[in-house]
């Protein structure tokens, strides 16, 4: 019998309320979740281990979200990245997709919307693993 590993998710947002809102729901849906409010801490963490899915804000002090996701994709190209931002522009969306992100969500969004995006990202990731 094989035990399926939980999908691991890293959430990085400098506003604690975002992780506080997302984590319980993701835990409940069977994901393994780690949350960070400082990009420097999240950066250290992705240097220790890979995550299946990363959800990151863009506008943050220190290492910004674009730099963070660039490093995350460089280290682990199979990681699916979902950008969430309160300051969305066409340019930031274009830039994010050019870095290979899975989806781009402007805040505010309902929990149901991001759960659906995470579900699709997880399916895509699993399909890629199965095909490899």
Partner 1 sequence: MRILVALDEHSYSAGIINSVARLAANTWADVTLLGVRPGGAAGGTFSMNHPLVNTFLGYKDDFLGQFADSYSPYTRQEQVAIGENNGIWEIPGTTDNSRKELKIRIRSGNPDREILEEARLTESDLIVLGCSGAGDCQWQGLLNLPEKVAKDASCSVMVIKEERIPKKIICCMDQPSVTQASVEMINQIVTINEADLEIIGLTGPKGLKEEVERQMDGILRYYMAQQINAWVKLVDMGALEEYVAQVSRDGMIALWMGKKSMLQKIFNRDLVGKLVTQAHSSVLILR
Residue 16 lies near partner 1 (rule: CB under 8 A)? no
Give how many residues touch partner 1 by CB under 8 A: 22
Residue 103 lies near partner 1 (rule: CB under 8 A)? yes
Is residue 65 a contact partner of residue 77, using CB atoms and an 8 Å limit?
no
127: alpha, beta or left? (left if phi > 0; alpha if psi -120 to 50):
alpha
In this structure, what token pair is assigned to residue 14?
Answer: 């400098």
Using a 10 angstrom Cβ sphere, with 0-12 exposed, 13-18 middle and 19 or more buried, the burial of residue 5 is exposed
Shortest distance, position 79 Cβ to partner 1, whole Å: 19
In this structure, what token pair is assigned to residue 82?
Answer: 């979902």
Residue 115 lies near partner 1 (rule: CB under 8 A)? no
42-81 mask for partner 1 (x: CB under 8 A)? -----------------x----------------------
Residue pointed to by tokens 């409010």: 37
Binding residues vs partner 1 (CB under 8 A): 15, 17, 21, 59, 86-90, 93-94, 97, 103-110, 112-113
């Amino acid at each position: 019998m094989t035990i399926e590993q939980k999908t691991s998710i890293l959430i990085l947002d400098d506003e604690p309320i975002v992780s506080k809102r997302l984590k319980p729901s993701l835990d409940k849906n069977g994901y393994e979740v780690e949350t960070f409010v400082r990009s420097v801490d999240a950066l250290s963490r992705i240097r220790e281990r890979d995550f299946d899915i990363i959800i990151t804000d863009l506008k943050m002090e220190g290492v910004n979200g674009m730099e963070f996701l660039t490093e995350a994709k460089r280290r682990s190209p199979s990681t699916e990245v979902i950008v969430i931002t309160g300051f969305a522009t066409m340019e930031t969306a274009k830039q994010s997709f050019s870095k290979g992100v899975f989806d781009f969500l402007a805040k505010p969004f309902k929990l149901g919307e991001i759960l659906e995006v995470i579900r699709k990202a997880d399916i895509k990731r699993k399909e890629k693993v199965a095909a490899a």
